[in-house]
């Protein structure tokens, strides 16, 4: 069975890439949120009136997990894994391997950007705790880190499109 999915068709590599993006994005989001939430809890213990602003800063690193899920859903939809397994089983090893690499690469981008966005969010929480009127500037800092997760997702979607739709074919 493993031989078919990884050596005779590309479906195994495709699923591995999609799941890697999902899992690493989720792990990164959990790490980032934990970092920001740890800082936020300390601030809220002394300034509970900042809950709304602090909550938003804590929430920001959670988007990378969503990006991994979006990529996994797009892979399942575009390849037919979720609707037409017979067609998906015809995917070449080359295309499946390329999709696997795209997913692993995206997963690494999501993992690291969420981790560092959590650290940046924690710093922004400290800024808001000291100068509440600086919330607008504070939210820009973790948003800058978010940019690279968005770039990673965009490139992954473009690669998915190029591999499966733009002149390529699933059936080899």
Ordered DSSP codes for 94-146: HHHHHHHHHHHHHHHHHHHHHHHHHHHHHHHHHHHHH-GGGHHHHHHHHHHHH
CB 117 within 8 A of CB 141: no
94 has a pLDDT exceeding 80: yes
| Residue 171, SS3 per DSSP | strand
CA distance 95 to 67: 22
* Structure confidence at residue 164 (pLDDT): 82
2 has a pLDDT exceeding 90: no
* Structure confidence at residue 165 (pLDDT): 77
* Structure confidence at residue 102 (pLDDT): 97
The residue behind tokens 């994005």 is 25
CA distance 68 to 102: 12
CB atoms within 10 A of CB 153: 23
171 has a pLDDT exceeding 50: no
* Structure confidence at residue 166 (pLDDT): 65
Across the range 121-149, mean pLDDT stands at: 96
pTM for the whole structure:
0.90
* Structure confidence at residue 168 (pLDDT): 47
138 has a pLDDT exceeding 80: yes
CA distance 127 to 106: 31
């Amino acid at each position: 069975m493993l031989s078919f999915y990884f050596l005779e068709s590309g479906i195994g590599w495709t699923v591995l890439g999609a799941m890697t993006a999902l899992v690493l994005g989720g792990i990164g989001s959990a790490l980032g949120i934990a970092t920001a939430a740890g800082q936020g809890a300390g601030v809220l213990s002394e300034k509970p009136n900042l809950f709304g602003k602090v909550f938003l800063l804590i929430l920001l690193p959670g988007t990378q997990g969503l990006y991994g899920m979006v990529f996994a859903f797009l892979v399942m939809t575009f390849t037919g894994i979720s609707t037409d397994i017979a067609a998906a089983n015809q995917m070449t090893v080359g295309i499946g391997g390329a999709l696997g690499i795209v997913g692993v690469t995206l997963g690494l981008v999501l993992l690291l950007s969420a981790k560092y966005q959590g650290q940046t969010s924690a710093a922004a929480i400290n800024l808001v705790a000291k100068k509440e009127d600086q919330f607008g500037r504070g939210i820009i800092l973790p948003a800058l880190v978010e940019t690279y997760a968005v770039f990673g997702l965009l490139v992954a979607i473009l690669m998915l499109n190029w591999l499966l739709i733009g002149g390529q074919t699933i059936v080899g």
